[in-house]
Amino acid sequence: MHSVNSPKHTPVDQSQLQNDVSAQQNSAPKKSEKLEARGVSVETPKGSTPPSTSNTKPLDTASTETLANRIKPPSQTSSESVTQEASAPFEADRTALEQNAKRLGAGAYGEVYLVNQDGKSFAFKVASTEAGWQALQQEAKLYGKLADIGPHDNVIKSMGIVEVQGVQGLALEYVEGCEAGKLFTTAEKLYTDNKLSHSQYWGTVQFIMRDVLSGVHHLAQAGISHSDIKGGNLLYDKESQAIKIVDFGSAAKIGIDPVTIGTPDHSAPEALLSLPHKDGDKPRANEKQDTFAVGQMTYRAGEHAENLFGAQNTGEPAALGFAMHSKLRDIERRGETIEYQALNQADDPAVAGTPGHFGKGGETAYVEFVNISTLLDIDVRGTAEELLKTNFISDPLCQPDEARQVISGLMTKMEEDHKAELAALMQQT
């Protein structure tokens, strides 16, 4: 299943548990199909021009500092005006905003618009509920911590809470691109159909994981755990040709905030095991939650299956979180936490070809990387900095430029498939 050979390389109340998982899953904004609740992963159709917003100053998305200086912050006067017109920022009149900005999508807590001025664009997230406004402010604080240490190519930039057309919201770098999750799916299909070579497939996977780890390392330096690293929260930016980490709705301050569960099948064991506990009793967030997620994605790329500790994924996140929690408890009771490895050697060839196993002598750079990044014991699990130095990442099967060419081809393939689907639907009507 994983033929990367070239690199050198106490009982718990179950109903309460399910309620806890559901509560955590519902605490973040639900994703819209186009937007994933972050407002920055929308693909603009070719030839289309985002509408202009006359009340904003020109932007330069190349620099966080420049962006922050060129967007109007909420002033005392404007704040008083908003208070007079509405009792809270999330109740502000959006008529002018709707008329002058493109509405990209909506989630449970708010909406996202594309604001454009003189060809410079940014995504503008606004809240529709009190809970949404509180979440937006918390997200802005985390972006502020990131700004304190400077921008990074693999992390989306934010200009903080700003005002556009009398409405306050969170301004974010607008990224036109493709989700890494879709790239993985397309690449895997082409690879299994022998339309993508071994080196092209694995070189592209390594390229993406390197960018993600670089971004995760930057977050750790700022004291932030993203806590929901997955393909849908990673965007390949067409302009910079780099992966950017987006959507900080589940993010937490390392060593301060309690661990959170973003998406169960990517969540670290310490987060899943925290389900029965109240926030005050949960372990604190750590940077290795994110490296575990990177390991889970890499496992999926190599095994074409999910690493769920033996749990079954029925498509219901709350149920999956509970099932994975139970399996992890079983591992603890058997005293196997320290010895656990996601990938294990099997002498029987029939077993060696199944997900989670490899044959004798098959401990490749891929196997080493996955096992180090997905260890259950936090003390020995790899950090982003350490994983960047592994052979799997430092000695890829193809160079970055070739990986970018492959990604460009994957995006073209997805566009062609989408057009074919539309054409087929038109013929049916």
Among residues 156, 173, 190, the one where a domain terminates is 173
CA distance 171 to 150: 17
β-sheet bridge partners, residue 236: 178, 243
| Residue 406 located in a structural domain | yes
pLDDT at 62 over 50: no
36-64 mean pLDDT? 41
Q: Domain range spanning residue 277?
A: 177-411
pLDDT band at 88 (very low <50, low <70, confident <90, very high): confident
> What is the pLDDT, as a whole number, of residue 1?
53
Mean of the per-residue pLDDT values for the chain?
Answer: 85
Q: Are residues 157 and 121 in the same domain?
A: yes
User: What token pair was written down for 240?
Assistant: 């910079």
Confidence label for 9 from pLDDT (cuts 50, 70 and 90): very low
Q: Based on the domain organization, do 225 and 330 belong to the same domain?
A: yes
CB atoms within 10 A of CB 62: 13
| 64 within domain boundaries | yes
CATH of the domain at 131: 3.30.200.20
Question: Do β-strands 344-345 and 357-358 pair in parallel, antiparallel, or remain unpaired?
Answer: parallel
- Output the pLDDT for position 276: 84
158 and 113 within one domain: yes
pLDDT of 366 over the 90 cut: yes
8 A C-beta contact, residue 227 and residue 260 = yes
Q: Which of 295, 329, 293, 299 is nearest to 311 (CA)?
A: 329
- pTM for this predicted structure: 0.81
Neighbours of 418 (CB within 10 A): 11
Specify if 229 maps to a domain: yes
Residue 56 forms part of a structural domain: yes
Q: Is residue 424 part of a domain?
A: no
Q: Count other Cβ atoms within 10 Å, centred on residue 83.
A: 12
Query: In this structure, are 98 and 231 located in the same domain?
Result: no
| Residues 226 and 371 grouped into a single domain | yes
Residue at a domain's end among 126, 157, 173: 173
Is 297 in the same domain as 274? Answer: yes
Residue-wise pLDDT for 148-169, tens only, equals 999 999 999 999 999 999 999 9
Residues 132 and 183 in one domain: no
Judge if 187 and 306 occupy the same domain.
Answer: yes
Q: At 291, list the tokens.
A: 């490296």
Is the pLDDT reported for residue 269 higher than 80? yes
Same domain, residue pair 225 and 332: yes
pLDDT of residue 106: 84
Position 74 scores a pLDDT of 60
Judgement on whether residues 157 and 260 belong to the same structural domain of the protein: no
Count the domains in the chain: 2
Q: What is the pLDDT of residues 102-131, one digit of tens each?
A: 998 887 788 999 998 667 799 999 999 999
Is the pLDDT at 91 greater than 70? The verdict is yes
Query: Which has the closest alpha carbon to 92: 51, 124, 140?
Result: 124
Instruction: Tell me the pLDDT tens digit for each residue of 192-204.
Output: 999 999 999 999 9
Comparing C-alpha atoms, which of 317, 157, 161 is closest to residue 248?
157
The beta-carbon contacts of 334-341 under 8 Å, at least 24 apart in sequence, are 337/376, 337/377, 338/376, 338/377, 340/375, 340/376, 341/371, 341/374, 341/375
Do both 245 and 334 map to the same domain?
yes
What pLDDT digit, counting tens, does each position of 379-402 carry? Answer: 999 999 999 999 999 999 999 999
Boundary (domain end) residue, out of 173, 199, 217: 173
Evaluate whether residue 321 is within a structural domain. yes
Q: Left if phi > 0, otherwise alpha if psi is -120 to 50, otherwise beta: which for 176?
A: beta
Residue 16 placed within a domain: no
Tell me, yes or no, whether 281 and 141 share the same domain: no
Answer whether residue 298 is part of any domain.
yes
Q: How far is CA 8 from CA 19, 251, 303, 364, in A?
A: 46, 35, 20, 8
